[in-house]
């Protein structure tokens, strides 16, 4: 399968080959993984189509027929009528990030700015019945990530998805909505206006034939595309066993970064996110945390919460106290009102521990410096 | 210093030696670290006391005198009058966990059940002005950890500390309060009743002379004792730059586990905890998470949020489809309504990927199984 994908990558496909690939994708019981297997095994969509009835017969399916050409031609007309164009796996316009996943959609109908599919993208997913805190966080992230140059990918659902798309549109407009049904079937209907805005300034995509009404089983499929398109997936608010966790799992399987916004453990809407963080997902407090993790330039990095300084080694050499005056002014000059680690003081003054230790003891006995927990030294003024 | 600690460990000290150690600890400008240095350098408290004036003079302090014996005798009387007894670093009753830290208190006044100082302990710290969610979490943790056999160590402060002590008392009563001031100075005064309960069923300790009123500089010192006594420190609710983070830092320095309860990033009271988790602290949702991390037996382990299953390898060998009937019933029997990873199916059926792959394809084409994102297989009924 990998060989087939690589060999097909970036080819200019003929009209016939594109049509055969679509036809194979629409043949009964050929899902994405099966499509790639058949392509790899038979070398071309045409050969796979020719082999399919025999394979089905060998599997005990007597009446198997591949998708009729008329159905494919009708889908092409319907997609064009919906203002969409078709991207076929194996051609250059197909999103590179998505083509890397083992169950990449064989075909995609796309509307809007296709170039967004080729920019670095971040998936944002979360609860449909999100809290107001969750919605605020989704807006903050969507706007910040869009302004930082990332495409924000989500699923046009209620709640977090809607907030992420809207905020990205308010930012630089870089957002991609992955449809659970056909490209021309806006679900939920209340997001019709949002879908129109995305068509104008962002991009919508669907792997299904136009006209397909989404059913329960289509949502996990949609989620894998969100994950596949993205360098990282941020789960904003998710209960345990929610669809967002399927997206997170797909992202992990695809080698994408998984990040999550925490919440209080007593808030059930945070249980999915907290579980992800406990299992190793990066804790996200805002756009900076995401950008920092992806190595993107950020305006302001959050301050580290703690500076870890080693404790003074218990084996530090002791020596008799003498020549006490020498280092004192250097030490006191270096020690400000903020505590400093002894280790750092050693480096700053370029002296050895054996030189410094007795002078620190002297200053301590003089009451001019104080030792604080954690091996920190402070000046007493 | 390490040598001195080890050499002194578990000795039965004479009355004179104990008194000398207390006297050294109470001598002007001798903090905990200095006490250990002097003990290591001079071999005994008596020798250190004899050397101190000379050391001070060499350091330019002309009028230095060690703590007069009368002061030590008065402290002993005052401590006994407060119902406390003295533990001296280097004797067997001194808490072993605490004796391991480089700035271990030279002496401790203790009231109540001293045996609690020798049980595995968990520190709990957090905000004084805690939210109701934070207080509920502290109570849940305090009770659960106490019931699981751990001593709950905290600082008798308002808020999280109070909730932790109270809940531990309601559990098995295993709680230790580390005082910021003297053993007989209850701070805050409103916790007088709680302190009495702890005296009856738990344990209170102080490194300071009885009668000492706590000042700002005493609180970080108290925090290091909480960390030093504990195998792990759980931060329940803490803003950035709060005292709880000093305890967490001390715990890290001492090699203790640091754990934190998350909160929503928009809640400033969670910023310290979220920062700790982002920096690697374990996310805690309840007592089970703490117990699990410490390898303690737990009643019910939380379910893992996701089962990570590898995707089917893209290099899985392909072979012609034949002998299709053989594995089908085994596969269908194994696949229930819940999706299963192909990998797991391989192990369950004890077949090779090369044997399984074509049969899965057949079943897929027959419409009897479906592939789901993440390499999962489900039966279609």
Q: A220 contacts in B (CB within 8 Å)?
A: 372-373
Q: Are residues A188 and A123 in the same domain?
A: yes
Across the interface, do A373 and B279 touch by the CB < 8 Å criterion? no
Can you give the pLDDT at residue A320? 33
In A161-220, the residues whose Cβ lies within 8 Å of chain B are: 217, 220
Average pLDDT over residues B5-13: 56
- Residue A311's nearest CA partner among B106, B100, B95, B29 is B100
pLDDT number for residue B80: 97
Q: Is residue B89 included in any domain, yes or no?
A: no
Q: What is the mean pLDDT of residues A170-176?
A: 87
- What is the rounded CA–CA span in Å between residue B131 and residue B267? 10
Q: How far is A251 from chain B (nearest CA, A)?
A: 9
| Contact residues for B93 (Cβ-Cβ < 8 A; gap 6+) | B87, B114
- Closest residue of chain A to B135, computed from CA coordinates: A266
The pLDDT of residue A360 is above 90: no
One domain for residues B139 and B245: yes
pLDDT for the residue B304 = 35
Strands B203-206 and B175-178: parallel
On the question of pLDDT at A4 being above 50, the answer is no
Closest-CA residue of chain A to B132: A266
Q: Which residue of B has its CA nearest to A102?
A: B314
| Contact call for residues B362 and A60 (beta carbons, < 8 A) | yes
Task: Evaluate if residue A2 carries a pLDDT over 90.
Answer: no
Cβ separation B55–A321 shorter than 8 A: yes
Give the per-residue pLDDT at A151. Answer: 96
Enter the tokens of residue A31.
């899902």
pLDDT reading at B326 higher than 80: no
Nearest to A155 by CA among A197, A189, A126, A119: A126
pTM over 0.80: no
- Compare CB distances from B279 to A248, A305, A324 and report the shortest one's residue: A305
Is residue B111 helix, strand or coil?
A: strand
On whether the CB atoms of residues B185 and B213 are closer than 8 A, the answer is yes
Assign residue A281 the CATH number of its domain. 3.40.50.450
Of A34, A224, A365, which is closest to B55 when you measure between CB atoms?
A365
Do B243 and B348 fall into the same domain?
A: no
Q: Do A367 and A327 fall within a single domain? A: yes
- Search chain B and give the residue with CA nearest A369: B29
Domain for residue A348, yes or no? Answer: yes
Q: Are residues B230 and B180 in the same domain?
A: yes
Q: Which two three-digit tokens encode residue B318?
A: 């392909």
In this predicted complex, what is the ipTM?
A: 0.72
pLDDT, tens digit, 9 for 90 and up, residues A92-138: 999 999 998 999 999 999 999 999 999 999 999 999 999 999 999 99
Q: Does B252 touch chain A (CB under 8 A)?
A: yes
- Among A165-169, A227-231, A240-244, B272-276, which stretch is predicted with the lowest mean pLDDT? A240-244
Residue B85 pLDDT > 50 = yes
pLDDT reading at B159 higher than 90 = yes
Question: Cα B247 to chain center, whole Å?
Answer: 10
B156, B136, B145, B251: which is closest to B205 by C-alpha? B156
Residue B316 lies in a domain: no
Identify the weakest region by mean pLDDT among A267-271, A290-294, B211-215, B348-352: B348-352
Give alpha helix (H) positions in B43-85: 45-58, 69-81
Tell me if B265 and A137 make a contact (CB, 8 A cut-off): yes
Is residue A4 one of the residues assigned to a domain? no
Per DSSP bridges, beta strands B232-235 and B257-260 are parallel
Q: Are strands A85-88 and A175-178 parallel, antiparallel or unpaired?
A: unpaired
A47, A56, A59, A207, best to mutate vs chain B, most B CBs in 10 Å: A59
Mean pLDDT for the stretch of residues A276-293: 96
Residues A60 and A123 in one domain: no
A333 within a domain of the structure (yes/no): yes
- Do B123 and B169 fall within a single domain? yes
Please identify which residue in the block is written with the tokens 């809207």.
A166
Interface contact B275-A305, CB threshold 8 A: yes
Percent of chain B surpassing pLDDT 90? 68
A289 CB neighbours in chain B (<8 A) are 278
- A37 within a domain of the structure (yes/no): yes
With beta carbons under 8 A apart, name residues in chain B contacting A137.
Answer: 264-266
Round the average pLDDT of chain B to a whole number and report it. 86
Token representation of residue A125: 């997913």
Whether residue B132 is found in the same domain as residue B268? yes
Least confident of A13-17, A174-178, B152-156, B336-340: B336-340
Q: Averaged over A199-226, what is the pLDDT?
A: 96
CATH no. for residue B331? 1.10.10.10
- Quote the pLDDT of residue A89: 96
| Same-domain status, A39 and A187 | no
User: B22 in a domain, yes or no?
Assistant: yes
* Tokens read off for B76: 């002993």
Pairing type for strands A232-235 and A121-125 reads parallel
Cα separation, B146 vs A238, in Å, equals: 31
Going through B82-202 in order, the beta strands assigned E by DSSP cover 85-88, 107-112, 121-125, 151-154, 175-178
What pLDDT score was predicted for residue A307?
A: 31
In a domain, B284, yes or no: yes
Boundaries of domain holding A24: 15-83
CA neighbor of B261 nearest in space, from B146, B147, B130, B162: B130
Q: What DSSP state is assigned to residue B118?
A: G
The number of domains in chain A is 3
Please tell me whether residues B167 and B37 are part of one structural domain: no
Block residue for tokens 């594995």:
B327
- For every residue of B233-277, DSSP letters joined together read EEE-S--TT-HHHHHHHHHHHTT-EEEE----TT-GGGHHHHHHH
Q: What is the mean pLDDT of residues A349-377?
A: 72
Examine the domain organization and report whether A190 and A146 are in the same domain: yes
């Amino acid at each position: 399968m990998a060989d087939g994908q690589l060999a097909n990558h970036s080819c200019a496909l003929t009209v016939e080959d594109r049509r055969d690939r679509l036809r194979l994708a629409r043949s009964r019981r050929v899902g994405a993984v099966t499509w790639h297997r058949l392509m790899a095994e038979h070398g071309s969509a045409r050969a796979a189509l020719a082999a399919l009835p025999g394979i089905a017969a060998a599997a005990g399916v007597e009446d198997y027929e591949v998708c009729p050409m008329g159905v494919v031609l009708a889908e092409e007309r319907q997609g064009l009528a919906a203002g969409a164009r078709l991207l076929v796996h194996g051609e250059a316009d197909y999103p590179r990030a998505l083509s890397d996943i083992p169950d990449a959609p064989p075909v995609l109908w796309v509307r809007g700015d296709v170039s967004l599919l080729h920019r670095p993208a971040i998936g944002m997913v979360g609860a449909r019945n999100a809290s107001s805190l969750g919605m605020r966080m989704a807006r903050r992230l969507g706007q910040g990530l869009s302004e930082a140059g990332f495409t924000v990918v989500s699923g046009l659902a209620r709640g977090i998805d809607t907030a992420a798309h809207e905020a990205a549109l308010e930012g630089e407009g870089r957002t991609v909505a992955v449809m659970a049904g056909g490209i021309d079937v806006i679900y939920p209907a209340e997001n019709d206006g949002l879908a129109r805005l995305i068509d104008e300034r962002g991009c919508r995509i669907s792997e299904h034939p136009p006209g397909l009404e989404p059913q329960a089983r289509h949502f996990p499929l949609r989620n894998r595309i969100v994950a596949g398109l993205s360098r990282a997936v941020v789960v904003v608010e998710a209960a345990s066993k929610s669809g967002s966790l399927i997206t997170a799992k797909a992202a992990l399987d695809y080698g994408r970064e998984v990040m999550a916004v925490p919440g209080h453990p007593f808030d059930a809407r945070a249980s999915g996110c907290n579980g992800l963080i406990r299992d190793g997902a990066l804790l996200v407090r805002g756009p900076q945390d995401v950008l920092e993790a992806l190595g993107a330039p950020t305006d302001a990095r959050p301050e580290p919460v703690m500076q870890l300084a080693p404790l003074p080694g218990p084996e530090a050499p002791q020596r008799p106290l003498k020549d006490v005056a020498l280092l004192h002014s250097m030490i006191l000059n270096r020690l400000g009102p903020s505590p400093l680690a002894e280790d750092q003081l050693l480096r700053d003054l370029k002296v050895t521990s054996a030189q410094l230790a007795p002078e620190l003891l002297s200053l301590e006995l003089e009451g001019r410096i104080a030792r604080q927990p954690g091996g920190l030294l402070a000046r007493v003024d």
